[in-house]
A and B are shown apart, each in its own frame.
Chain A
């Protein structure tokens, strides 16, 4: 009970209070403390990365072993992992004790494989937007109809044709963004800030313990 409940709650309380205090203390001692905590976080992050990779590889190894659906893709996970780690450790003949050599094989892999692949995913977003917009803009309710009209005005107002017809159209489109849209955004933001404070207090004072597996 002590290790699984009391200690984590006590740590959350102490570091929660320190975290809040550091925000209001500009003194160098406080800032140095914050940097130290951030350093600890980076160390934990480094160890956690090993756990993460171990989890990823175990998952794909199990998939390959069981010949689960799509197990062939798991082979590429291992190939990618081994090749990238191998070239990183080799470091163009300087090995891993020296700083990474730029423009080497790892950079080549990033620029010629990872970068185009992620860019492709990002580019696909355009088609996803079109698909989602088509579904949303079917004016089946009053709300959907308002959304449709507002979206058409804003989209059209941002094109050069709108200003050619009338200066009022881009102005109205901008008004929609700057007034009703911004008002709603701010309302949401207030709720988010208050929710953050409330959640933080619940965790700092040990009232919310679901992150420890429930009450």
Chain B
């Protein structure tokens, strides 16, 4: 009896198993293909509805062909419960029913290798070529009887619409900055800039160096000339060099990058020429110190300990060497002014330096030191942009708290 019962159970299980194998849900009729927007091309995006009865062990198979008659090559096989339009907000947005549609990017397909039997080569989709995409499904190795075929062409795009929000904000801030620059040009002397202690202390630091007859060190960060903080630090160097030339003291500029060194040499030289002191410029004082992070820190530390500068300026992008440099400078008794956008290093500079220019103050320094109306106007424009962003953040936070995500989605980077 037990044996018969077991056989019945076995037959029933097999029947159920076979039943599941053949119960592949019907394919949806809304299978679509399109060129993937906002890219360099070489990619198509496919989409189709979620159908009832999809399970984790069911797979959707995508095949690609250049002709409708084939040959067809497999491009992807994904579990039926994965890859929805919600994974592609840059293409499909944030609509609630995105979860009811599958979506998939296809950029390559597999063709049998000509060199090794049994292997496949990945072939990239070509721009300007028509492609046919076939959707089928399978479960437990059994493919569905039906399939869907659609056609599209892939090509590169000339504007990334998913960066449109970024573009508009950039134009918006640029408008404010340029507007206030031209306004300042017409009405100079009407701009207020809050006091920045670190920059007010520049004269004090240089005066101290002059009185003590000791050099001033300008220590560049370890970023290249392609980084904006380095450009900002070069602008500050120019202002500092002019004052140094005026006070007739020694300025030593340490460099990590050879291009930064070359630009610094020219900047300091021009500043000395402008002050009518071209003879005081010594090229060896603006040199490459080391082109390796910790070698640079060791070399500058050594210079500080030997020469005991009266003032140290740390300007630009810094990493782990920040504390090694500034703590050594502090131990030599120098007055220290740091300026960086590396917010992970700010605590170290705040701890060890007398004054620290934080983030945007680094960019404002050149304008602040020069007091040129046009440059001050750009700071005003920047502040207006900041005010607008603060308003957006407050409004966005309130809306988001009430479940209205419109503004959050509008400003989202995709």
Measuring CB to CB, which residues of chain A are less than 8 angstroms from any residue of chain B?
Answer: 20, 23-31, 41, 44-45, 48-49, 51-53, 55-56, 58-59, 62, 69-70, 73, 114, 117-118, 121-122, 124-125, 128-129, 131-133, 135-136, 185, 188-192, 194-203, 205, 207-208, 210-215
Complex Cα spacing A41 to B226, Å: 9
Contact B157 A27 (CB under 8 A): yes
Tell me whether B269 is interfacial, beta carbon within 8 Å: yes
| B270-A45 in contact (CB<8A) | no
8 Å CB contact of B288 from A31, A55, A192: A55
Q: Are A213 and B238 in contact (CB under 8 A)?
A: yes
- Contact of A214 with B271 in the complex, beta carbons under 8 Å: yes
A155, chain B: closest CB distance, angstroms: 13
- Taken together as a complex, chains A and B put the C-alpha atoms of A53 and B159 apart, in Å, by 43
Closest to A195 in B: B363
* A contact residues around B251 at 8 Å (CB): none
Of A26, A31, A201, A214, the contact of B378 (CB 8 Å cutoff) = A201
Q: Which residue of A lies closest to B385 (CB)?
A: A194
**Minimum CB–CB distance for B341 against chain A, Å:** 5
What is the CB-to-nearest-CB distance from B37 to chain A, in angstroms, rounded to a whole number?
9
Q: How far is the CA of A24 from the CA of B39 in the complex (A)?
A: 10
Determine whether the beta carbon of A129 is less than 8 Å from that of B323: yes
Among B166, B258, B343, B363, contact of A188 (Cβ-Cβ < 8 Å): B343
Q: How would you classify the secondary structure of chain A's contact residues: helix, strand, loop or mixed? A: helix
**A29, A62, A198 — which one has the most chain B CB atoms within 10 A of its CB?**
A198
Q: Give B residues with C-beta under 8 Å from A.
A: 38-41, 127, 156-160, 163, 166-167, 170, 173-174, 177-178, 181, 224, 226, 228, 231-232, 234-235, 238-239, 242, 255, 257-259, 261-263, 266-267, 269-271, 273-274, 283-284, 287-289, 291-295, 297-298, 302, 306-307, 320, 323-324, 327, 341, 343, 346, 348, 350-352, 358-360, 362-364, 366, 370, 372, 374-375, 378-379, 381-382, 385-386, 389
Measured CA separation A205–B180 after assembly (Å)? 14
Are B366 and A210 within 8 A (Cβ)? Answer: yes
CA gap between A73 and B303 in the complex, in Å:
11
B287 engages A194 (CB within 8 Å): no
Q: Contact between B287 and A132 (Cβ–Cβ < 8 Å)?
A: no
For the complex, give the distance between the alpha carbons of A202 and B235 in Å. 11
Establish whether residues B156 and A117, one from each chain, have CB atoms under 8 Å apart when the complex forms: no
Q: Which residues of A contact B298 (CB under 8 A)?
A: 117, 121
- CB-CB < 8 A to A208: which residues of B? 235, 366, 375, 378
Report how far A90 CA is from B351 CA in the complex, Å: 48
Contacting residues, chain A, for B259 (C-beta < 8 A):
44-45, 48
A132 x B263 contact (CB < 8 A)? no
Q: Are B156 and A128 in contact (CB under 8 A)?
A: no
Question: B323, A196: Cβ atoms under 8 Å?
Answer: no
Min Cβ gap A125→B in Å is 6
Residues of A within 8 A of B352 (CB): 132, 135
Q: How far is the CB of A54 from chain B (nearest CB, A)?
A: 9
Given the known interface contacts A25-B160, A52-B258, A125-B324, the answer about A70 and B231 at a Cβ–Cβ threshold of 8 Å is no
- 6 extra A-B contacts, CB within 8 A, seeds A27-B41, A118-B292: A121-B297, A131-B327, A195-B363, A199-B232, A208-B366, A214-B271
Q: A125-B324, A198-B381 are in contact. Are A188 and B39 (CB under 8 A)?
A: no
Complex Cα–Cα for A24 and B341 (A): 25
A29 to B352, CA, bound (A): 48
CB contacts (< 8 Å) of B40 on chain A: these are 26-28, 30-31
User: Does B385 contact A73, Cβ atoms closer than 8 Å?
Assistant: no
The reply to whether A24 and B320 contact each other, CB–CB distance below 8 Å, is no
* Pairwise interchain contact A118-B174, C-beta atoms closer than 8 A: no
Write out the residue numbers on chain B whose beta carbons fall within 8 Å of the beta carbon of A215.
370, 372
A212–B302 Cα distance when bound, in Å, is 31
A52 to B366, Cβ gap below 8 A? no
Whether B327 pairs with A214 at a CB distance below 8 angstroms is: no
A118 contacts B294, C-beta separation under 8 Å: yes
Task: Give the interface centre of A20, A189, A195, A210 by most chain B CB atoms within 10 Å.
Answer: A210
B-chain residues with CB within 8 Å of residue A41 when the two chains form the complex: 226
Please name all residues of chain A whose beta carbon is closer than 8 Å to the beta carbon of B348 when the two chains form the complex: 132
Contact between A195 and B343, CB atoms less than 8 A apart: no
In the bound assembly, the distance between CA atoms of A121 and B232 in angstroms comes to 28
Assembled-state Cα–Cα distance A70/B304 (Å): 12
Query: Closest CB of chain B to A106's CB: distance in Å?
Result: 14
Determine whether the beta carbon of B386 is less than 8 Å from that of A121.
Answer: no
Instruction: Name the A residues within 8 Å of B177 (CB-CB).
Output: 197-198, 201-202
Closest CB of chain A to B221's CB: distance in Å?
A: 14
CB contacts (< 8 Å) of B359 on chain A: these are 188-189, 191-192, 195
Instruction: Answer whether A213 and B386 are a contact pair too, CB < 8 Å, given A55-B288, A198-B378.
Output: no
Contacts of B284 in A (CB 8 A): 55, 58-59, 62
Which of A48, A69, A211 counts the most chain B CB atoms within 10 A?
A211
Contacts of A44 in B (CB 8 A): 259
Are A59 and B287 closer than 8 Å at their CB atoms? yes
Among A20, A26, A199, which residue has its beta carbon within 8 angstroms of that of B363? A199
CA distance A205 to B39 in the complex (A): 30
* B332 CB, min distance to chain A CBs, angstroms: 14
- Please indicate the chain B residues that have their CB under 8 angstroms from the CB of A202 in the complex: 177, 181, 375, 378
CB–CB A194/B173 < 8 A: yes
Q: Is A122 within 8 A of B378, CB to CB?
A: no
